[in-house]
Chains A and B, each alone.
Chain A
């Protein structure tokens, strides 16, 4: 069962992409750690972290593409799942600070001491254990997606309505996490992390390991999503996207189909968030901003929705562009991003990868047609009475 799932998952493009990711996971840390800074192939640590961050963005875009590109659910709330995963990891990292915080309280994080709290809130229990935090980074977003999706899909909230209420969901969470009473550090969020699994979070080795972890997580997610979309279930998802009522009248429970994809996607987003936080060193309510969710959509759109490689390419390109732009011409970044939204939807609806694929297919068809024609003229020349 699993083997056939995997066999289907590993198409040629996916194998190449996974191989590239695994090579990067090994090579980049090696070049960072094993070479000196004057070596021509040396990869500086800030680049490692920067690209590690891009990889988590790529994972988030892939997660969104699973529901948007393949199932037609345009979620404008994926930043919420990402941020929840991030908060779960952030809570672990806060607990790891222990008595090294400014107030030196061994149990309570600094912001709680500052707010005069005497006890650790119940929902902070267990986050001193890495495995628990890692589990929660997947479970909490998955649970939210399950509850939200269960209500929404069951009552057939569709299309833009769904987009709008997912946006409202992340907006509500944004407001909630801004509150100090929530117990997640309010406005400032969680930061000043010291170490992860006992390793200094600032150290080059940790940074490289986090990069490698992000690359591997992305590779695994790629295999899983590929398996999903190539299975019969994946074909049903596309069927839901293109002709929802036909799927329904064939006897499929569309709400279950959507719910599964939505929950898997939210869990992947949660993992992305959990990997993101230790690499950037902070998580705050700003991550819930609805604008962030929409930005994820444009990454997927630029790369090509409905393809698996597309969102990864898109996320890395757009964020690379953002890093360069905001450093060189900060005034113009929003113009560029806004323009990107308009231009991609108008002129590149399939995205880079989708358009490239279309181009390759056309060439192939053209070549096939020409070969067929050549064969026919040849055959006709050889045997005039032979038809087809």
Chain B
């Protein structure tokens, strides 16, 4: 044992030496020294090991990262026979050994032949700080950025030296910015002089965000009097900023909800708005579209798993065809006998909606079906203080695309011309040689098909169950009626207005009460303008 003590003493000297020489000296250090230091972790007390880890950190050599990580995880063991320290992986009753520095496999050992290097929370904290400092030196900018962000989240005075060193050598501007913020945060919790802290506060305020806010609030309690005003105004500034971002986030959520409403309502804008048919089974068309997506994904999952990213692209035309066909059958089979009797149409289509729901329930079961997001639809990114999820973004884009497509179809194509002709003056249209029954059927099929497409998109964010459509039918009608019947632009404006209104009421009134308020507002609005926002005024033709 005495030899080991001496050995350790020497190591301490070495550590002292390391503190003196700068990080630049890292390259000169022999790998043997590192190995000695790592091996020294075995059998040391917690306090000794804390020092040891700090010493290792000072070397700034990224090679020790796996060892430190393993230590923190409790996967670092010392071989009793020679005092060598390894990273281990369990392999039956044995451990598989991995060299702590090189990462090479180093055979197996019986469990009894190894002794765990013990770790506690104090040690873990030191390791975390050390790792932060270490990875700050990594040649990979991405790793450095991550390290800087880690420190920014958990600032400590201990990280300051490492940060200063890193800042001196940093060339990447993005990393440098985060480093500076991390440094400011760390200064704030250190015992540096007041002036330096004030500067740090300014930097933290500039960073903004919830973390900075909690950092400042934390600092407020322990700060001395001279700093308080700075911190308080800083907090105020950040809070204002956060409120602004929250409003922005609300608008974003509102747009997102609006796009959902638009998708749900846009088919209805055709069947109800243009043709005047009250289709209570509209929601079920959306539901059928979602189930088409489910079936397509099931087939892909079972037979062509590689094509999963394409599942939505495949489902879109299929959903359009399936729901369009259902719509065609409905129009030819039921609705055409009820033209001019809107209330009867309402009842008959409600009956169809019940049948469709039960049919889907009988075939697929009453429970939610799992519809997956392709990789390009999942995840999120940060935009300033906003969190933007990809699926919501794509749905907004998609809803606008569908809208543009429909507008084009109605305004610029012969089919659209015929549709408008038939709705404006059926008899005149038919005497011009337009086959009005077919135009009716195709228009209805188009509206239904669009609902199916909407179902594909909504399957990405909603539960796919037989009741899916029920949740949308009232909202869709509200959007169309609010926007003004017979006006696609009205539907667009109506959907986004209602979406944003809903999301702005939510924080004050709660989700349910917000929705109730919106309904009440719409009811009042319809009283005021019974034909909606963009109603066409006209001579009273009705007698």
Taking Cβ atoms with an 8 Å cutoff, the residues of A that contact B are 74, 148, 151-152, 154-161, 163-165, 167-169, 171-172, 175-176, 178-179, 245, 290-291, 294, 297-298, 301, 331-332, 334-335, 337-342, 344-346, 349
Residue of B nearest to A289 (CB): B470
The answer to whether the Cβ of B390 comes within 8 Å of any Cβ in the partner chain is no
How distant is the Cα of A334 from the Cα of B361 in the complex, in angstroms? 10
Q: Which of A74, A163, A342 contacts B351 (CB 8 A)?
A: A342
Taking Cβ atoms with an 8 Å cutoff, the residues of B that contact A are 278, 280, 334, 337-338, 342-348, 350-359, 361-362, 470, 474, 477-478, 481, 512-513, 515-516, 519-520, 522-524, 526-528, 530, 542-543
Closest Cβ of chain A to B334, distance in Å, is 6
Residue of B nearest to A171 (CB): B474
Q: Which A residues lie within 8 Å of B481 (CB)?
A: 161, 164-165
Contact B347 A157 (CB under 8 A): no
Residue of B nearest to A249 (CB): B543
Closest Cβ of chain A to B539, distance in Å, is 14
Residue of B nearest to A344 (CB): B347
Residue of A nearest to B522 (CB): A168
Q: Which of B337, B474, B527 contacts A152 (CB 8 A)?
A: B527
Q: Is the interface of A mostly helix, strand, loop or mixed?
A: helix
Residue of B nearest to A153 (CB): B527
Contact A337 B351 (CB under 8 A): yes
Q: Which B residues lie within 8 Å of A344 (CB)?
A: 347
Contact A176 B516 (CB under 8 A): yes
Q: Which B residues lie within 8 Å of A331 (CB)?
A: 358, 362
Q: Which A residues lie within 8 Å of B346 (CB)?
A: 74, 160, 163
Q: Is the interface of B mostly helix, strand, loop or mixed?
A: helix
How distant is the Cα of A297 from the Cα of B344 in the complex, in angstroms? 11
Residue of B nearest to A179 (CB): B512
Q: Which A residues lie within 8 Å of B347 (CB)?
A: 294, 297-298, 301, 341, 344-345
Task: In the A-B complex, list the 10 residue pairs whose CB atoms are closest, starting with the nearest.
Answer: A341-B351, A338-B354, A338-B355, A334-B358, A172-B519, A338-B351, A342-B351, A155-B527, A345-B348, A151-B527
**Can you name 17 extra interface pairs (CB under 8 A) apart from A172-B515, A294-B350, A341-B350?**
A151-B523, A151-B527, A154-B527, A160-B346, A165-B522, A168-B478, A171-B474, A179-B513, A245-B543, A297-B347, A298-B347, A301-B347, A335-B358, A345-B338, A345-B345, A345-B347, A346-B348
Contact A171 B519 (CB under 8 A): yes
Q: Which B residues lie within 8 Å of A294 (CB)?
A: 280, 347, 350
Interface centre among B354, B481, B524, B542 (most CB of A within 10 A): B354
Closest Cβ of chain B to A169, distance in Å, is 7
How distant is the Cα of A165 from the Cα of B522 in the complex, in angstroms? 9
Contacts known (A157-B530, A159-B342, A165-B526); A337 close to B354, Cβ less than 8 A: yes
How distant is the Cα of A349 from the Cα of B530 in the complex, in angstroms? 28
Q: Which of A159, A175, A179 contacts B343 (CB 8 A)?
A: A159
Contact B527 A172 (CB under 8 A): no
Residue of A nearest to B277 (CB): A160
Contact A164 B477 (CB under 8 A): yes
How distant is the Cα of A164 from the Cα of B474 in the complex, in angstroms? 8
Contact A175 B515 (CB under 8 A): yes
Closest Cβ of chain B to A249, distance in Å, is 10
Contact B342 A160 (CB under 8 A): yes
How distant is the Cα of A74 from the Cα of B280 in the complex, in angstroms? 14
